[in-house]
Amino acid sequence: MIRKLILGFALAWAIAALLLETGRALAGFDDRGQSRDEVPYWRFGTPQVDELDRCLNLVRQRVPPGRVVVFASPADTPETPETPDHEFFRWRWAAYLLPRWEVAPLQDPTISRTAEYLITWRRDLEIPRLAFLAGDPGIPGCRLYQVRKAVP
Amino acid sequence: MIAALCVVVLAAILLLAGTRLPGLTSASDGGLCRVVTGALAGMVLFHLLVTLLDLAGLRWSVLSLGPGLALPVALAVRYAPRSEDQRRRLPSDLGWGDQTALLAVAVFALVALTLWVTTSDFFYHWGTKGERFFLAGHVDYGFLSRSWGWAVHPDYPNLLPELYAASALLAGRFDAPAQMLWSVLFFVLLLAAAREALKPAEPWVRQTGVALLATATAAFALRQQFAGGADWMPALALLAAIPALARQPDDAGDLQIGIAAAFAAASKVEGVMLAGLLVLAQLARRPVAGRWLGGIRLLRLAAPTVLVVLPWWIEVRRYHLFTVLATGGLTRERVQAALPALLDVLNHPVWHGFSYAMLLLPLLALRRRTRPLALVIGGQLAFYLWIYLVAAFDTRFYILTSFPRLLFHLLPAVLVGVLAGKSQGHQGLQGLQGREAADGTELLCP
């Protein structure tokens, strides 16, 4: 009897948990257009991901598949120690959204040799080797550059 | 819709291929055991096939994968002795617990298809790799070995991205929502394995157990954003191994363990450890018949895992893909940081308190039938804890961000093991088998 009571209570608890989580998930999905989550919590269909995806259209339209495209977004700063690795996560999203290109992070040690293009998202970069190709005026800091060969 | 259909078709083909293989079930196993083991065998077979194609330098395509899968199945159908167990029946007496479980799966599936509960690991690496492999037509080691490839865990076994890539090949494009159906499939197989393991239990316990596992898992999966990841797979492998671990070793049980181990090893790095533990736990026990360490027995138990692990290990070494885990040694500071973090994981909201079921693990060690399972779960848990205690990361952060997820590998098996172990005193496997056959309440297994 006691075993049945324990099991019955556990099942009731699990059903309540499932109802709660289903409601939470559906409410979050319905409100996805208002999401202001930081990058570790980005999900498909949120404005942040949609904006990044629109910015990456510059690559889809102007860069041949297979090329090495460096992705640069706002750098993690010491002032925000609680949110490190945001740049990393944004880069991973960009790599997922551009499966036909070799999307590299700005911090990669080999990047000065291998980079062919560079796209920025919400970031301004001043690097002499960059030749501006295109930008999306509707998205802050969304610019595509060609990377000139390094002078030996 | 077409992409989703392609996932279902590929899963059905793999299930069909796996269930055609001979010797997968013993007389005491039910139809669900054949389905679960067959599905795992089909996926392992598929993994070996794509590995072979890669080694031969052949691009994956419908033309190369189709005959590759059809050939071993045709050989098995033509030459393997057809036994009665190939006509094993599926249960048709769906009780209230089964129906609740199906409802929980449906809820998870509907939400998963929106991509709202997709794990971040899907776009950080699993999904990215799947789409890259689909575009390349092979495991793209050029992509994995890029200097920035460390971010996609290039040293992980590739079964899940391979399944993603193959279903995308069938569909002609990579469709992320459709790929979530693989998680739904693993969820269904997980419940089928649990139901099979709970077969000896009283009907009420069996129904409650299945419903409890389904609803708790669905709640966890929605909160944790669990769709699209590979953590379903080690949990499934462990559950699939329970019936074989619970009875005295026989030929079919050895093969079941061998396949579950290979499936675990093909899914994740942690799965390689789990595979070793499963094989060892079975090997440590004297079989009903035949030699304890006979060649055929070793072949059944270890060959599938060796076939999976060896090519993976060679390729990972060849392309220098191992991402070295920085170890800082066991220190008092790490232990002091780990203990409260582990307690926090038990209280983590994603689990709604069900994580405390891990504390039931010692109960498994008390009963002879569940002792091998306790050894496997305990070994795997010790492995995770050891990694946490020696890794040169922020121990607390490391545990809080990964252990709630890794607990899922073990918790379903603990829960099912406790319920099944308790019940096995009431009713033997053989007795139940006989009763079900007498009832005639079963459907023909595919």
- Mind giving me the DSSP string for B343-376? HHHHT-GGGTTGGGGGGGHHHHHHSTTTHHHHHH
Q: Do A93 and B123 touch (CB under 8 A)?
A: yes
Q: Do B219 and A21 touch (CB under 8 A)?
A: yes
The answer to whether residue A69 scores a pLDDT higher than 90 is yes
Q: Residue B439 has what pLDDT?
A: 35
Query: How far is Cα A57 from Cα B182, in angstroms, rounded to an integer?
Result: 29
Taking CB atoms and an 8 Å cutoff, what residues of chain B touch A25?
111, 116-117, 222-223
The token duo for A2 is 């006691």
Instruction: State whether residue B422 sits within 8 Å of chain A by CB.
Output: yes
Does B434 map to a domain?
no
Does B416 map to a domain?
yes
Q: Residue A6 has what pLDDT?
A: 94
Query: How far is Cα B242 from Cα B193, in angstroms, rounded to an integer?
Result: 8
> What phi and psi, each to the nearest 5 degrees, are found at residue A129?
-80, 0
Q: Do A110 and B353 touch (CB under 8 A)?
A: no
* A70 beta partners: A104, A118
Closest CA to A99 of B226, B10, B152, B155: B152
Query: How far is Cα B4 from Cα B374, in angstroms, rounded to an integer?
Result: 38
Q: Which contacts (CB < 8 Å, 24+ apart) does range A124-128 have? A: A125/A72
| Cβ pair B34, B445 in contact under 8 A | yes
Query: How far is Cα B432 from Cα B420, in angstroms, rounded to an integer?
Result: 13
CB–CB contacts below 8 A, A to B: 105
The answer to whether residue A150 scores a pLDDT higher than 60 is yes
* B63 beta partners: none
Residue found by looking up tokens 């090329």 in the block: A67
**Mean pLDDT for back-to-back runs of 10 residues, chain B (446 residues):** 95 92 85 94 96 95 89 77 62 88 98 97 96 97 94 95 97 97 98 94 94 98 97 98 94 96 97 98 89 89 97 94 76 92 95 96 94 97 95 89 96 96 53 39 32
Does B438 map to a domain?
no
Query: Of all helices (H) and strands (E), which one includes residue A69?
Result: strand A68-72
Min Cα–Cα distance to chain A from B223, Å: 6
> What phi and psi, each to the nearest 5 degrees, are found at residue B89?
-100, 145
Q: Which residue is closest to B221 within chain A, CA to CA?
A: A21
Q: Which residue is closest to B126 within chain A, CA to CA?
A: A96
The token duo for B208 is 């409650």
> What phi and psi, each to the nearest 5 degrees, are found at residue A60?
-60, -35
Min Cα–Cα distance to chain B from A80, Å: 17
Closest CA to B433 of B134, B79, B32: B32
Closest CA to B45 of B7, B25, B74, B80: B74
Q: Residue B94 has what pLDDT?
A: 86
Closest CA to B429 of B196, B195, B249, B200: B200
Q: What is the DSSP letter of B40?
A: H
Torsion angle in degrees (nearest 10) through CA of A95, A99, A100, A103: 10
- The 10 Å Cβ neighbour count of residue B207 is 23
| Cβ pair A69, A95 in contact under 8 A | no
Query: How far is Cα B215 from Cα B9, in angstroms, rounded to an integer?
Result: 27
Q: Which residue is closest to B145 within chain A, CA to CA?
A: A102
Q: Do B116 and A4 touch (CB under 8 A)?
A: no
List residues of A whose CB lies inside 8 A of any B CB.
3-4, 7-8, 10-11, 13-15, 17-18, 20-22, 24-26, 28-29, 32, 40, 42-45, 88-89, 91-93, 95-96, 99-100, 102, 104-105, 108-110, 114
Taking CB atoms and an 8 Å cutoff, what residues of chain B touch A2?
none
Q: Is the dihedral of CA B137, B139, B145, B149 positive or negative?
A: positive
The token duo for B107 is 């809820």
Domain of B274 in residue numbering reads as: 2-79+97-426
- The 10 Å Cβ neighbour count of residue B299 is 14
Taking CB atoms and an 8 Å cutoff, what residues of chain B touch A7?
205, 208-209, 212
Min Cα–Cα distance to chain A from B338, Å: 20
**pLDDT average, residue stretch A137-148:** 95
Taking CB atoms and an 8 Å cutoff, what residues of chain A touch B175?
none
Taking CB atoms and an 8 Å cutoff, what residues of chain A touch B204?
4
Does B269 map to a domain?
yes
Q: Which of B114, B135, B208 has its CB closest to that of A8?
A: B208
Taking CB atoms and an 8 Å cutoff, what residues of chain A touch B151?
88, 91-92, 95, 105
Amino acid letter, residue B13: I
Query: How far is Cα B94 from Cα B101, in angstroms, rounded to an integer?
Result: 10
First-to-last alpha carbon distance for chain B, in angstroms, is: 25
B94 vs A68 pLDDT, higher one? A68
B 117-176 residues with CB < 8 A to A: 117-118, 120, 123-124, 127-128, 131-132, 135, 143, 146-148, 151, 174, 176
Q: Do B116 and A7 touch (CB under 8 A)?
A: no
Does B175 map to a domain?
yes
Query: How far is Cα A115 from Cα B353, in angstroms, rounded to an integer?
Result: 49
Q: Which of A1, A11, A30, A90 to mutate to test the interface with B (most CBs of B within 10 A)?
A: A11
The token duo for B360 is 């039931």
- The 10 Å Cβ neighbour count of residue B360 is 15
Q: Residue B72 has what pLDDT?
A: 77
In chain B, how many domains are there?
1
Min Cα–Cα distance to chain B from A29, Å: 6
Closest CA to A149 of A135, A128, A134, A132: A128
Query: How far is Cα B429 from Cα B421, in angstroms, rounded to an integer?
Result: 11
Q: Do A44 and B148 touch (CB under 8 A)?
A: no
Taking CB atoms and an 8 Å cutoff, what residues of chain B touch A8?
208
Does B310 map to a domain?
yes
- The 10 Å Cβ neighbour count of residue B108 is 29
Q: What is the DSSP letter of B327?
A: B
The token duo for B101 is 């479980």
Residues 6+ apart with CB under 8 A from B157: B265, B266, B267, B268, B269, B271, B272, B308, B312
Q: Which residue is closest to A105 within chain B, CA to CA?
A: B148
Q: Which of B116, B118, B151 has its CB closest to that of A92?
A: B151
Instruction: State whether residue B425 sits within 8 Å of chain A by CB.
Output: no
Residues 6+ apart with CB under 8 A from B158: B47, B129, B133, B139, B266, B312
Min Cα–Cα distance to chain B from A77, Å: 19
Does B122 map to a domain?
yes
Q: Residue A152 has what pLDDT?
A: 63
Does B46 map to a domain?
yes
- Mind giving me the DSSP string for B104-155? HHHHHHHHHHTTTTB-HHIIIIIHHHHHHHHHHTS--HHHHTSTTGGGG-TT
- Across B72-86, b (16+ Cβ under 10 Å) vs e yields ebeebeeeeeeeebb
Torsion angle in degrees (nearest 10) through CA of B154, B155, B159, B165: 10
pTM of the model: 0.93
Taking CB atoms and an 8 Å cutoff, what residues of chain B touch A40?
120
Encode B378-434 in three state secondary structure: HHHHHHHHHHHHHECCCHHHHHHHHHHHHHHHHHHHHHHHHHHHHHCCCCCHHHHHH
Residues 6+ apart with CB under 8 A from B108: B117, B184, B187, B218, B221, B222, B227
**pLDDT average, residue stretch A47-66:** 97
Q: What percent of chain A has pLDDT over 90?
A: 79
Q: Do A28 and B116 touch (CB under 8 A)?
A: yes
**pLDDT average, residue stretch A62-80:** 87
Instruction: State whether residue B216 sits within 8 Å of chain A by CB.
Output: yes
| DSSP percent split of chain B into helix, strand, coil, nearest 5 | 75, 0, 25
| Cβ pair B301, B194 in contact under 8 A | no
Instruction: State whether residue B179 sits within 8 Å of chain A by CB.
Output: no
Taking CB atoms and an 8 Å cutoff, what residues of chain A touch B206?
none
Query: Of all helices (H) and strands (E), which one includes residue B55?
Result: helix B31-56
